[in-house]
Structure 1
Amino acid sequence: MDVRFRLATEADAERLLAITYDAYVTIRELELHWPAANADLALIEDNVRKNDCYVLEVDGDIKATVTHSKGNELKGLTDLPFLKWFAVDPASQGQGLGGQLLDWVERTVAEQTGAPGVTLATAEKHPWLLPMYERRGYERFHAFDPGNGDGMMHLLRKTVVPDANQPQSNGRLDGQPNERVR
């Protein structure tokens, strides 16, 4: 099994759309207003162009994705990089691939930005996302109700590089597709 991490390209958009749509079924059932849950091809392509959209491939097939947002959604709340649009192909869930991708992206983004960690957001009413992220070492630091029916949302952060002034060499920083795990 050949596992690779890389930045997505617009040529990956159709596969990313399929994975994201299939993985976000619970989000739609909960009627959460997350853009990725009802994304179309144009929105996926826009995400790839404007952000760092990472993928994990197994034997050349994309199995998971997560995006490092280049926007400033959290301006005023934190300077840490923001991760969003995490999705794993449902046919590949339970194999640890999503965790591998998150581990690699957390380190890579923290090292590239010089930040000690990363942030993400999730809804309290989702039945398993908040506990899953907390098991992965994320801590809640801000809760808010966006007033759109999503209920309480939580911003979470995770320390990845304890001393950001001393970068660690864990993973490639140049975005090349030759990072392998066997």
Structure 2
Amino acid sequence: MDTAAAPLTFRDANEADVDALVALIESAYRGESSRAGWTTEADLLEGQRTDPEGVREVIGAPGSRLLAVERDGAVVACCQLERRGGNAYFGMFAVSPGLQGAGLGRAVMAEAERLVREEWGAAEMHMTVISLREDLIAWYERRGYRRTGRMSPFPYGDERFGIPQRDDLRFELLTKPLV
């Protein structure tokens, strides 16, 4: 990460952040803007990744928080954290495409893991990733996450999650011990 860059500020997202968060998440995963970074799903899915209602649901859900990450007053990254028993779920992770590859994602993930371990006492972090995303899964594995081989179906027919461009999409559960 560029040591001359302004420091990051981590805070819980609120209603005033919804539009900026939707734009960030969409830019990181969908359409041509997502191709500036390496996390794009544009070849697998078209349409939206999320919408204002979905972001509001995460912000307002009990046992959930949406972490907004700012630099110089602009939201540059985010992630969802959700309590699931003695573990935590990590999702809705997005880093501005132009800032990917500089350590920002690694910093967000480290802070998310610290928060759920220290504030919730979570023993393990869970996430689901489209199983075809080998580069992304490898990135998570380098950060201590392990593939479980446990798959769940992609929500075909629910355009809130995008319009699949393939018929073989599914999610794999990745886990990381936090204690």
TM-score bracket, normalised by the shorter chain, equals 0.7 to 0.9
- Distance verdict in 2 for CA 1:79–1:155, change over 3 Å: farther
Q: Residue 117 in 1 paired to residue 124 in 2? A: yes
CA contact (8 A) 2:146 2:176 kept: yes
- 2:96 maps to 1:89: yes
> Which of residues 154, 157, 177 in structure 1 aligns to 2:172?
154
2:55 matched to 1:44? yes
Deviation at 1:9, TM superposition (A): 0.8
* Higher share of residues assigned strand: 2
Is 2:87 aligned against 1:80?
A: yes
3-state secondary structure, aligned to 1:38: coil
> Are the counterparts in 2 of residues 143 and 152 from structure 1 also a CA contact under 8 Å?
no
Pairing partner for 1:128 from 127, 131, 135: 135
Query: Is 2:68 the counterpart of 1:55?
Result: yes
Gaps of 5+ in 2: 1-5, 31-39, 157-166
Gaps of 5+ in 1: 73-77, 162-182
| Letter aligned with residue 176 of structure 2 | K
Structure 2: how far apart are the matches of 1:43 and 1:116? Answer: 27
Counterparts of 1:56-71 in structure 2 under 5 Å? 56-70=69-83
What is the rounded CA distance, in whole Å, between the counterparts of 1:69 and 1:137 in structure 2? 19
Please report the TM-score for the alignment, with normalisation by the length of structure 2: 0.76
Identity of aligned residues (%): 30
Q: Number of matched residues? A: 152
Shift of 1:117: 2.3
In the alignment, the residues of structure 2 paired with residue 28 and residue 92 of structure 1 have an alpha-carbon distance, to the nearest angstrom, of: 18
Equivalent-residue separation in structure 2 for 1:61 and 1:104 (angstroms) = 18
CA RMSD across the alignment: 2.2
1:30–1:126 CA contact under 8 A, matched in 2: no
Residue 68 of structure 2 aligns to a residue whose secondary structure is strand
Structure 1 length as normaliser, TM-score?
Answer: 0.74
CA distance in 2 between partners of 1:118 and 1:133 (Å) = 12
User: How far did 1:31 drift?
Assistant: 2.5
